[in-house]
Amino acid sequence: MNNTSAQSPASTVFIHSLIFAFPFLLLITRLGVGLCSFAFLITAVIYCRRGWPELLRHLTEIRGVLVAFGAVLLLALALGLLSGDGRLRDLEKPFRMLAASTVMLTVLACRPSRKALWWGLIAGAVAGAVFVAYQRWGMGVERPGGLINSITFGDIMLCMSLMCLAGTLDFAGRSAIWPGLGALAGLIGSIASGTRGGWIAIGFAVVLLVRYGHVLRGRLRKGLALLALALVVSSYFIPQTGARERIDEGISDVHQYFNGGPTYTSVGIRLELWRSAWQLIERHPLLGASIPTVKNEMEQLVKSGRAHPYVLQFEHFHNDILQALVFGGVAGLLAWGSTLVVPFLFFRRQLHQSDHLNAPALAGMLLVLSYFSFGLTEVIFWSVRSNMFYAMMLFLLAGLSLNAKEESR
C-alpha cells in the first residue's frame, strides 16, 4: 500500500508531477533533467525539517551509498589539487551526482506514491520510442538518437524498459499490461537506435530475473517478460531493424582486427582504444593521469607506431572500467566501482528484507546492472545527462524502496 504523508493537495500534486516528469522529459527535451534536478533540490530544502529526521533514521542503511558517491567527489578534488593541471574541471559530474541525494530526501519526506514513477517511465519510454522510430523509419536516419548520442539514447531506453518490467509488481491484475507496454516501447526504442553493445544488459537482466523469478508472480507478468525477450530475439530476423546487419558487422570487425584487416570499424576502433588505454594505465597505475597528460601520451603512442592515428579522434576509451583506470588509476576504479557495487548491494538487501514485493528495489538492481553492462562497450558515464539520470533515478528508487519496506510492515 502506498501512503502519502499529510500535506496540502497542491504540494501532493506537485511532488507526483515532478517524479512523473523526470523520466518522461528525459529523452524528449534538452532541459528536462536540469529542471527536475533543480526542482528536487528546492523541494528538499523546503521539506528539510521533515526529511532530515527521516534520512537520519535510515542512515545506517543508506550510509554506504552516500559514502560511495562522496568518495568519487573527494577523489576528484584531491587529484585536482595534487596535479594542478586542470583536473578541477572534473568536479561537476561527481558534485551533481552526490547532490542528487536530495531526490531521496524529498521522497523520504513526502512519501509519494510509487505509481508516479512507473507512469513516468511508461510515458517516457513510449514518447522516446515514437520519437526515435520516426527518426529511423520516417526520416530515414540510420542511427537515430533523439536529441542526444544514439548509443546513449538506446542504452537509456533499454534501462527504462527493464525498470518498467519491475514496475509490473505494483500493478494488480490486468493493469500490469501498462508497465508491460512501457517495457516493450523501451525495447523498440533501443532497437530503432541501432544500439548493439547495450544488449549485454539483457543477459544480466535475465539472470537477475531468473534468480528472483518468484517476484514476477502471475502468468501476465511472466508472459510480458517472455514477450519482451521474444521481441529482442525476433529483431535479428527482421531486416528493417538492422539488428542482424549490426551483429554480423560486429563479428566481421573482430575477425578483421585480429587477422590484419582494416581496423577502422565500429568494433575495431574500440579494440584499438582499449589496447591504447592499457599502455597508458601501465604508466600511471595508482592515480591515473590528467586529460592533457593523456592526450600527450596518446600522441606519443601514435608517433612510435604503437597505436593507430585515428585513436586521437576520440574523447574517451569506450569502456568505463578503462576510462576510470586511465584518469584515476586503481583509486579511481575503486571509487567509480563503489557507485555501482554499493547501491546494488543496498537494493539487494532491501529486496530480501521486505515482507512484501519491493518493486523499487528490483528496479534499482536492474538500473545498476544496466549501467555496468553499458559501460563494457561505452563510457555511459561520459555525458552529464546520463550521469544525472543514473544518480537521480538511483536515489529516487532508494527513497521509494525504504518507504516500501516500512509500508510492508
Least confident window among 106-110, 128-132, 245-249, 334-338: 245-249
Write out the three cell numbers for 313. Answer: 579522434
Q: pLDDT tens across 110-122, in order?
A: 999 999 999 999 9
Q: Where are the alpha helices (DSSP H) in 212-319?
A: 219-234, 243-258, 266-283, 291-303
Give yes or no for residue 262 having a pLDDT over 80: no
> In the chain, what's the furthest Cα-to-Cα distance?
69
Q: pLDDT tens across 311-320, in order?
A: 999 989 999 9
Contact indicator for 65, 343 with CB cutoff of 8 Å = yes
- pLDDT confidence bin for 323, thresholds 50/70/90: very high
- pLDDT confidence bin for 164, thresholds 50/70/90: very high
Rounded distance between C-alpha atoms, residue 288 and residue 273, angstroms: 16
Least confident window among 23-37, 148-162, 167-181: 167-181
Q: pLDDT tens across 31-61, in order?
A: 999 999 999 999 999 999 999 999 999 999 9
Give yes or no for residue 364 having a pLDDT over 80: yes
- pLDDT confidence bin for 3, thresholds 50/70/90: very low
Write out the three cell numbers for 325. Answer: 583506470
- Structural domain count, the chain: 1
Rounded distance between C-alpha atoms, residue 240 and residue 221, angstroms: 28
Least confident window among 66-80, 93-107, 248-262, 346-360: 248-262
- pLDDT confidence bin for 328, thresholds 50/70/90: very high
- pLDDT confidence bin for 213, thresholds 50/70/90: low
Q: Residue 121 is which amino acid?
A: L
Write out the three cell numbers for 259. Answer: 587477422
Mean pLDDT value across residues 147-168:
92
Percent of the chain with pLDDT over 70: 87
Give yes or no for residue 240 having a pLDDT over 60: no
Q: Three-class SS string for 307-318?
A: CCHHHHHCCCCC
Rounded distance between C-alpha atoms, residue 365 and residue 348, angstroms: 7
Q: What is the DSSP string of 44-104?
A: HHHTHHHHHHHHHHTHHHHHHHHHHHHHHHHHHHHHHHHH-SSGGGGGHHHHHHHHTHHHH
Listed in sequence order, the residues at least 6 apart from 82 whose beta carbon sits closer than 8 Å to its beta carbon are 287
Secondary element (H or E) of residue 328: helix 320-353
Residue 239 maps to a domain: yes
Give yes or no for residue 25 having a pLDDT over 90: yes
Rounded distance between C-alpha atoms, residue 381 and residue 284, angstroms: 21
- In order of 64, 71, 116, the CA distances from 400 in angstroms are 17, 24, 11
Res 194: pLDDT: 80
Contact indicator for 395, 106 with CB cutoff of 8 Å = no
Res 241: pLDDT: 57
Sign of CA dihedral 115, 121, 127, 129: negative
Rounded distance between C-alpha atoms, residue 172 and residue 348, angstroms: 23
Residue 288 maps to a domain: no
Residue 164 maps to a domain: yes
Give yes or no for residue 224 having a pLDDT over 90: no
Q: pLDDT tens across 391-406, in order?
A: 999 999 999 999 988 7
Q: The cell 592526450 sits on which residue?
A: 295
Residue 218 maps to a domain: yes
**Is the full-model pTM beyond 0.75?**
yes
Least confident window among 163-177, 247-261, 297-311, 318-332: 247-261
Res 352: pLDDT: 85
Rounded distance between C-alpha atoms, residue 270 and residue 217, angstroms: 41
Exposure of 9 in the CB half-sphere (CA atoms within 13 A): 0
Give yes or no for residue 83 having a pLDDT over 80: no
Rounded distance between C-alpha atoms, residue 217 and residue 90, angstroms: 45
Give yes or no for residue 89 having a pLDDT over 80: no
Contact indicator for 86, 292 with CB cutoff of 8 Å = yes
Mean pLDDT value across residues 72-78:
92
Give yes or no for residue 368 having a pLDDT over 90: yes
Give yes or no for residue 129 having a pLDDT over 90: yes
Q: Residue 267 is which amino acid?
A: V
Sign of CA dihedral 99, 104, 106, 108: negative
Least confident window among 185-189, 235-239, 258-262, 314-318: 235-239
Q: Compute the mean pLDDT over every residue in the chain, rounded to the nearest whole number.
A: 87
Residue 328 maps to a domain: yes
Rounded distance between C-alpha atoms, residue 243 and residue 248, angstroms: 9
What is the SS3 assignment for 4?
A: coil
Residue range of the domain that includes 72: 10-245+318-408
Rounded distance between C-alpha atoms, residue 11 and residue 8, angstroms: 5
- In order of 24, 239, 292, the CA distances from 289 in angstroms are 38, 44, 8
